[in-house]
Amino acid sequence: MPLGTLDRSPPPFFRQGPSALSKLVFFGVLAVLLMVADNRFGLIKPVRSAIATVIYPLQWSMLQPVIWTRNSGQYFEALNTSQANEAAAQYRLGLQSQRAQQVEQLSQENTRLRALLDLRERVNAPALAAQILYDAADPYRRKVIIDKGALAAVQPGSPVLDELGLLGQVTRVYPLVSEVTLITDRNQAIPVLNVRTGLRALAFGDAASSAGSLELRFLDANVDVEVGDLLTTSGLDGVYPPGLQVARIKAIERGADSAFAQVQCEPVAAVSSGLHVLVLQPMAGPFLARPDDTADRPNAKSKGDSP
């Protein structure tokens, strides 16, 4: 086919129509007109509402993973914060409980110390305050160790009492600590006086009792004693000052086949739970001669006499 006979017009499918510049100008002017019309008359508002209503389910479904992820992070963050706050609250509660227990203990110690101060004013003897450290290791003896010794002028034989009554006697002194034998020890014997009747007796530590009690020995079966009678030190032994509370009678047994009554007594002092005590200066025994006793003897010689 000759070249001059070819059709130079493009097929209908490839026809471009108006030029690109014409399209740009047309749609630009149309957009400006639509914006002015929407601004002045609100023509596009119904269309916008319809489009928003149609695409809302799609927006909701697309936002759900984001919301779940954000809520999950907030949940775990809030859970960690709550656990940390709970741990801090438990710690503060433990501290408050410890402080409350310490306050109660300090209150009890304050009450006992006040009672000891009142007792020191009533006792007409020099007294030294001490604290019980621990019980002695000997299971067959009832002894405690106090925190005052020879350096604090503690002497063997010194009476020891708490805010309630007589507790025991210093039996061994070390430089810094001392050993106190309690009145419930089986080797302890204390001359006592029944406040109600004036009866004098001897109170011994009851070795057969595991509760730590006393017993009055060598009393007639018809002796005038009653349950609840208060026993105090008589002062006849020259060791304990008179008038210190020792025990109360808690049980009396009068056997028909025995000439003596069995009298059980309960110590007034806290022999198993005390903490603060007073150590009194030991009294001079009646068997000790005074320095001026030699002047009363007719055959005594003075320093100026010749041998």
Distance between CA atoms of 77 and 64, rounded to whole angstroms?
20
Phi/psi at 241 (nearest 5 deg)? -65, 145
Of 54-63, 68-77, 121-130, 295-304, where does mean pLDDT reach its minimum?
Answer: 295-304
Residue 53 has pLDDT above 70, yes or no: yes
CA distances from 29 to 40, 67, 111, 144 (A): 16, 42, 100, 111
Average pLDDT in the chain: 79
How many Å is the Cα radius of gyration of the chain? 52
**Residue 300: what pLDDT?**
40
Please report which confidence band the pLDDT of residue 175 belongs to, taking 50, 70 and 90 as the band edges: very high
| Percent of the chain topping pLDDT 90 | 22
**Residue 180: what pLDDT?**
93
Task: Return the amino acid letter for 180.
Answer: V
pLDDT tens digits, one per residue of 151-169: 999 999 999 988 888 999 9
Distance between CA atoms of 95 and 91, rounded to whole angstroms?
6
Distance between CA atoms of 136 and 155, rounded to whole angstroms?
19
Average pLDDT over residues 39-51: 78
**Residue 248: what pLDDT?**
93
Nearest CA to 226 out of 209, 248, 204 is that of 248
Please report which confidence band the pLDDT of residue 37 belongs to, taking 50, 70 and 90 as the band edges: confident
Distance between CA atoms of 202 and 237, rounded to whole angstroms?
11
175 vs 122: which has the higher pLDDT = 175
**Residue 116: what pLDDT?**
66
Please report which confidence band the pLDDT of residue 284 belongs to, taking 50, 70 and 90 as the band edges: low
**Residue 303: what pLDDT?**
38
Q: Which two tokens stand for residue 167?
A: 């507790």
pTM given for the model: 0.56
**Residue 94: what pLDDT?**
76
**Residue 129: what pLDDT?**
87
Please report which confidence band the pLDDT of residue 201 belongs to, taking 50, 70 and 90 as the band edges: very high
**Residue 118: what pLDDT?**
66
In this structure, are residues 267 and 183 in contact, taking their beta carbons and an 8 Å threshold? yes
Average pLDDT over residues 108-113: 67
